[in-house]
Structure 1
Amino acid sequence: MTVRRSPALRLGVTLATCTALLLSAGCASDEGSTAGGSTGGGGTTIKEGLNVAFLPKQVNNPYFTVSDNGGKTAVEEFRGEYKEVGPSEASASSQVSYLNTLSQQGSDVIVVSANDPNAICGAVNQARQGGAKVVTFDSDTNKDCRDLFVNQVTGQGIAENQVKLISEAIGGAGKVAILSATANATNQNAWIELMKTELKKPEYSKIELVTTVYGNDDDQKSFQETQGLLASYPDLKGIISPTTVGVAAAARYLSGSEYKGKVALTGLGTPNQMRDFVKDGTVKSFALWNPADLGYLAAYAGAALASGIITGKEGEKFTAGKLGEYTVGPDGVVVLGPPTVFDSANIDQFNF
């Protein structure tokens, strides 16, 4: 699916300043509350006063703090009411009670990053039956359990990016492992399968994927799993960790171990998490999209649904504030845009 690409990540700006800039850009006129080109709804303007709730995988995760704050910025632009709720641990069923409560409270829009593709489906459908529009972001449910899924990039794009970065880091040959989030994480599992397919290409024939381990998006467990990988595979050349918690924990372990500079690491992380590890040589490069933009887009997508601008059908269009126009693709998926690669040459230009 092709959509209009997200603008480049904002450079050298604190998260607080970024938020202020976004607010000034979106609230100066009514443009931030307008969406055009709809083929399904009958309206073109987002309703004021929508109750929008964000339910991340876990509320103490820095990645979701940034993404949810992006959603808050969007909600303020279209003059809605924002809240964030969620579990402190990313277990499969931990989000169900929050969904039930949000449904009882009459939320107009629920934006959720699913810890499990199936565990929350019943609660999501009850919320939808109660009148809420449900948008998944970052990690999807089964497609029948929500109205839209706002994805970071295509899964293929992430797989190509991660395999390319680890190949460059290890010189195109050697054993590698994957440190993932939870074993049931929809997005992680999809990316891993696509990475396995990508590794079958002739240019990666000298790279062997030996195992995948799970840190459950917990810092200490991810640290321990990294330690275990090196104990089990002393000849390991590289680790891919497509999760912000995992890649930072793995970098912390490597930076203080005998493997620093010998075992390569890449993954998906934020510049502020990874800056020290890039500068001390633990990590050559890693990638990520702008999580604030992801939350911002998800909020606008939910508002467009709740306002009758779109219904979630393929081909419908809506405008997401400063990000511009997006098109709903197959299976109700909207894609933010390509990831940015961070390395020693550009990491100081980013602050989130």
Structure 2
Amino acid sequence: MRKRIHYGITAAALAGVMLAASACGGTTRGEGDDAGGGSGGGSGEADPNAEIPSDLAISFLPKQLNNPYFTVADNGGKEAVEELEGEFKEVGPSEANASSQVSYINTLGQQGSDVIATAANDPNAVCGALNQARQAGSVVVTFDSDTDPECRDLFINQATSEDLATTQVEMIAEQIGGEGEIAFLSATPNATNQNTWLELMEEELGTDQYSDIEVVDTVYGNDDDQKSFNEMQGLLQTHPDLAGVVSPTTVGLAAAARYLGSSDFKGEVALTGLGTPNQMREFVKDGTVEEFALWNPADLGYLAAYAGASQAAGRITGEEGQTFEAGRLGEYEIGADGEIVLGPPTVFNEGNIDDFDF
């Protein structure tokens, strides 16, 4: 395993790192190191029986700290790291913008993290920094939101993008009776997963089955509660004939529900998307939201930690078809481009929402 550097970082030093990153305008793919620089954990032949060391340094870098969704996901990662008797760390920016994660990646690489698990705010802005960390020996695992595949070792996908898109389209279509105007309230304009889902939902809605449904607008709340609240308000004011809104982001869905539930549009405009049961419970109970979907974010973080540890230990190298054990979740297989799918999404409604606590 890597020889880790243990030292404290003062606020001033961290500020200096962030200032330097800002002055350079961030690191993007094609600048500095070539894409595709491999990690030490990903080289050589896989040994499925290799022992996972008990002192692996596994660091989680979410899109932003204090986002309820990523708090749950990172705590799932912490659970796995504790089972593996490793060293868990969580760092990240307070705002989810394209280059905000670069300085943290640089610092984690310098500190010698064996595994960096990150949900990317932008598919390319973090690539240079991630590849530098990989060349220094870190295994890079993306979860929730991917980078260019050349910039990481493994990607933990919540569910297939097709399943998520289809589920959300089916939910909104059922709730509006198969016809009418709808809009999307997304996260950030550059979020990889959000854009993929939006594209696939547009394709699905373009089929004959949904010919009576029209997408009239797409807005972005930047995964900020107040901005998402304001964007939902703006949608309903701008489009008086709106029949429904799909928000494939936990922050956006909860904020939109908060506005809708206190407005004259409650019961008139359908709202669905991706959210956590604890955030959405009150809105399901009071009839603001009929149903929504998600995977278990704690399991997502848990799987990311086990996958990263397995590669750092040499049990896998990230090649398609390889399998590994992920603790209580059981066995998983690596797909094309290092993708590992957690499983199908769950639809939550009044009948089952109290069965979940996350």
Q: Partners of 2:89 and 2:239 in 1: how far apart?
A: 45
Q: Partners of 1:169 and 1:56 in 2: how far apart?
A: 33
Q: Is residue 338 from structure 1 mapped to residue 344 from structure 2 by the alignment? A: yes
Superimposed CA distance per residue, residues 58-88 of structure 1 (whole angstroms, 9 cap, x where no aligned partner): 1110000000000000001111100100011
Unaligned runs of 5+ in 1: 1-38
Q: Partners of 1:192 and 1:42 in 2: how far apart?
A: 38
- The answer to whether the Cα contact below 8 Å between 2:63 and 2:120 also exists between their aligned partners in 1 is yes
Among 199, 213, 228, which residue is 2:219 paired with?
213
> Shift of the alpha carbon at 1:348?
1.4
TM-score normalized by structure 1?
0.88
Q: Is residue 88 from structure 1 mapped to residue 94 from structure 2 by the alignment? A: yes
- The answer to whether the Cα contact below 8 Å between 1:40 and 1:313 also exists between their aligned partners in 2 is no
- The answer to whether the Cα contact below 8 Å between 2:318 and 2:338 also exists between their aligned partners in 1 is yes
Which residue pairs with 1:262 in the alignment?
268
Which residue pairs with 2:286 in the alignment?
280
Q: Partners of 1:150 and 1:280 in 2: how far apart?
A: 34
Q: Which amino acid aligns with 2:95?
A: E
Among 81, 85, 107, which residue is 1:79 paired with?
85
Secondary structure of the residue aligned to 1:156 is helix
- Of structures 1 and 2, the one with the larger relative CO (CA 8 A, separation 6+) is 1
- The answer to whether the Cα contact below 8 Å between 1:106 and 1:132 also exists between their aligned partners in 2 is yes
Among 163, 167, 171, which residue is 1:157 paired with?
163
> Shift of the alpha carbon at 1:42?
5.7
Note closer, same or farther for the CA distance 1:284–1:42 as it changes in structure 2 (3 Å cut): closer
Secondary structure of the residue aligned to 2:357 is coil
- The answer to whether the Cα contact below 8 Å between 1:179 and 1:246 also exists between their aligned partners in 2 is yes
Q: Which amino acid aligns with 1:232?
A: T
Which residue pairs with 1:232 in the alignment?
238
Secondary structure of the residue aligned to 1:228 is helix
Superimposed CA distance per residue, residues 229-276 of structure 1 (whole angstroms, 9 cap, x where no aligned partner): 111111000000000000000000000001000000001001110011
Among 244, 249, 257, which residue is 2:255 paired with?
249
Q: Partners of 1:155 and 1:343 in 2: how far apart?
A: 21
Q: Which moved more, 1:91-100 or 1:44-53?
A: 44-53
Matches within 5 A, 1:309-328: 309-328=315-334
Which residue pairs with 1:68 in the alignment?
74
Note closer, same or farther for the CA distance 1:276–1:126 as it changes in structure 2 (3 Å cut): same
Secondary structure of the residue aligned to 1:216 is coil
Which residue pairs with 1:347 in the alignment?
353
Q: Which amino acid aligns with 1:298?
A: A
Q: Partners of 1:148 and 1:43 in 2: how far apart?
A: 20
- The answer to whether the Cα contact below 8 Å between 2:48 and 2:324 also exists between their aligned partners in 1 is no
Unaligned runs of 5+ in 2: 1-44
TM-score normalized by structure 2?
0.87
Q: Which amino acid aligns with 1:116?
A: D
Which residue pairs with 1:303 in the alignment?
309
Which residue pairs with 2:46 in the alignment?
40
Which residue pairs with 1:110 in the alignment?
116
Q: Partners of 1:299 and 1:64 in 2: how far apart?
A: 14
Matches within 5 A, 1:146-185: 146-185=152-191
Q: Partners of 2:200 and 2:290 in 1: how far apart?
A: 23
Among 198, 206, 219, which residue is 2:204 paired with?
198
After TM superposition, what 4+ stretches of structure 1 lie above 4 angstroms from structure 2?
none
Query: Could you tell me the percent identity over the aligned residues?
Result: 69
- The answer to whether the Cα contact below 8 Å between 1:51 and 1:108 also exists between their aligned partners in 2 is yes
Q: Partners of 1:114 and 1:304 in 2: how far apart?
A: 21
Superimposed CA distance per residue, residues 177-199 of structure 1 (whole angstroms, 9 cap, x where no aligned partner): 00000000000000100001111
- The answer to whether the Cα contact below 8 Å between 1:118 and 1:141 also exists between their aligned partners in 2 is yes
Q: Partners of 2:278 and 2:207 in 1: how far apart?
A: 33
Superimposed CA distance per residue, residues 110-137 of structure 1 (whole angstroms, 9 cap, x where no aligned partner): 0000000011000000100110000000
Secondary structure of the residue aligned to 1:269 is coil
